[in-house]
Amino acid sequence: MDRIRIVGGPTLEGTIKISGAKNAALPLMIASLLTPETLTLENVPALADVNMLLRILGHHGVDYSVDGRRTGEDPHASRAIHLTARSIVDIMAPYDLVSKMRASFWVVAPLLARMGEARVSLPGGCAIGTRPVDLLLMVLEKLGASVEIEAGYVHARAPKGLKGAEITFPKITVGGTHTALMAACLAEGHTLITNAAREPEIVDLADCLTKMGAKIKGAGQSIIEIEGVARLGGASHRVLPDRIEAGTYAIAVAMAGGNVLLEGAEAHLLQNALDTIERAGAGISVTNEGIRIKRNGAGIEAVDVTTAPFPGFPTDLQAQFMALMTKAKGSSVITETIFENRFMHVQELARLGARIRLDGDSAIVEGVSTLQGAPVMATDLRASVSLVIAALAAEGETMVNRVYHLDRGFEHLEEKLGRCGAIIERITNAA
Ligand code: UD1
């Protein structure tokens, strides 16, 4: 299993190109199941989760090709993927594929909408709390499907097609909103979604579905209206930049110090996080090319943070921000409101010398002046990168084990940081 070795100390200077968003690319790829025509997605990040989803889509009958890269082209340029689901050859998504990545469960919506039936294994993914799918199943039932759970599989049926409905989410859910969008655009009649997630990735999916012929109003707001259409066609769409990747590198610069341009990052996608990072002592300026982040000399200020659905502070940056707070002057309280059990990075950060106490859904972080490198274990996607951030500012060497979690969500992490002066290397096939 690969490991990443980091020697802390150097500041970060240079440019980091922000990749396409994983959390937009995945639902966009799944939307290809809705049409027999070709969906072309540009700016798709090269990530383990994307490759896994290609395998899953291939299993359902999607033909895909990934644009080849010519010699001399930037090896870090993200890819274009062409996906064509001319016919769906299997409405079943098996356990061994779905269990590896939670988002793959979302295939249930287009399969059901297009084929009238889907059998999809209950999902897996990062171990951050129970992460149920009850609200996704509620969506399918509201739209007229019968849903049964049989031997670990969700069996959804709507032999006469789905019917538009009123869907009110009791809790904001990104996956639930993606599911409702994809299923309702091929349902007969009008669907009204209330308390929808407002994340930029929802807007990106809705934009792409609209290019495919869907009739959607209000994506990005709490109320979304959809008028069902009989069929959707092909389209070409560019995946929006990854706001979590941008926020992660912004926090890394705030932690290590330095001056980095996050090329292609869009500030409006992560304004809350940028404001928070600025309060912690970093300088942020928005340019035509992206976001510039600096911290020179000044110490890190303690800032309290509570995660919330968009436009609040994202739960996917909580672990990274906690890493930054481990070296702040004073104590901060970090409260996680989206997922239970999303504090697995705490004990690993403690190995580096961080002082963190858990109290229910809050972590009280008492800043220390020095962290010390140590062997640590990556436990989930965002937790893993928080260890990398802490290691950049720790004295000596940190070895991050189990980095496959990082490969699920961060494209070329060690090259991107290495080019800015970090001492970071991947050690492949370590025992
Ligand atoms: C997505 C993101 C993930 C991010 C999360 C919250 C992708 C691929 N993943 O995950 O990175 O951390 O949004 O921003 O885009 N819930 C239920 N019942 C359900 C569904 C969800 O109770 O049927 C709960 C969850 O347990 C959680 C909350 O709703 O407490 C929000 O989860 P949700 O927004 O659905 O997260 P995901 O879509 O899985």
> For every residue of 309-371, which 3-state class applies, written as one string?
CCCCECHHHHHHHHHHHCCCECEEEEECCCCCCCCCHHHHHHHCCCEEEEECCEEEEECCCCE
Tell me the CA–centroid distance for residue 197 and ligand 1, in Å.
Answer: 10
Tell me the CA–centroid distance for residue 425 and ligand 1, in Å.
Answer: 32
Say which of 126, 185, 208, 420 is annotated catalytic: 126
Q: Within its chain, how far is the Cα of 105 from the centroid?
A: 15
Q: For every one of its 431 residues, what pLDDT tens digit does the chain have, with 9 covering 90 and above?
A: 889 999 999 999 999 999 999 999 999 999 999 999 999 999 999 998 999 999 999 999 999 999 865 555 555 556 899 999 999 999 999 998 888 888 999 999 999 999 999 999 988 544 444 568 999 999 999 999 999 998 889 999 999 999 999 999 999 999 999 999 999 999 999 999 999 999 999 999 999 999 999 999 999 999 999 999 999 999 999 999 999 999 999 999 999 999 999 999 999 999 999 999 999 999 999 999 999 999 988 899 999 999 999 999 999 999 999 999 999 999 999 999 999 878 999 999 999 999 999 999 999 999 999 999 999 988 888 889 999 999 999 999 999 998 888 888 899 999 999 999 999 999 987 55
Question: Could you count the other beta carbons within 10 Å of the beta carbon of residue 86?
Answer: 12
Tell me the CA–centroid distance for residue 397 and ligand 1, in Å.
Answer: 35
Specify the CATH architecture of the domain 22-238: Alpha-beta prism (3.65)
Q: Atom 39 in ligand 1: which residue has the minimum CA distance?
A: 175
Q: What atom in ligand 1 is closest to the CA of residue 129?
A: 26
Q: What atom in ligand 1 is closest to the CA of residue 133?
A: 23
185 part of the active site: no
Structure tokens at 140: 């399918």
Q: Atom 37 in ligand 1: which residue has the minimum CA distance?
A: 175
Q: CA-CA distance, 424 to 404, in Å (whole number)?
A: 16
Tell me the CA–centroid distance for residue 314 and ligand 1, in Å.
Answer: 11
Do the beta carbons of residue 265 and residue 246 sit within 8 Å?
A: yes
The full set of domain ranges for the chain reads 3-19+241-427, 22-238
Q: Which helix (H) or strand (E) holds 43?
A: strand 38-44
Q: CB of 361 closer than 6 A to ligand 1?
A: no
Q: Atom 15 in ligand 1: which residue has the minimum CA distance?
A: 23
Do the beta carbons of residue 156 and residue 108 sit within 8 Å?
A: yes
Instruction: Return the closest-CA partner of residue 243 out of 15, 14, 16, 21.
Output: 21
Q: Within its chain, how far is the Cα of 141 from the centroid?
A: 27
Per CATH, which fold does 3-19+241-427 belong to?
UDP-n-acetylglucosamine1-carboxyvinyl-transferase; Chain (3.65.10)
- Same CATH fold, 22-238 and 3-19+241-427? yes
Q: What atom in ligand 1 is closest to the CA of residue 315?
A: 12
Do the beta carbons of residue 29 and residue 62 sit within 8 Å?
A: no
Q: What atom in ligand 1 is closest to the CA of residue 201?
A: 15
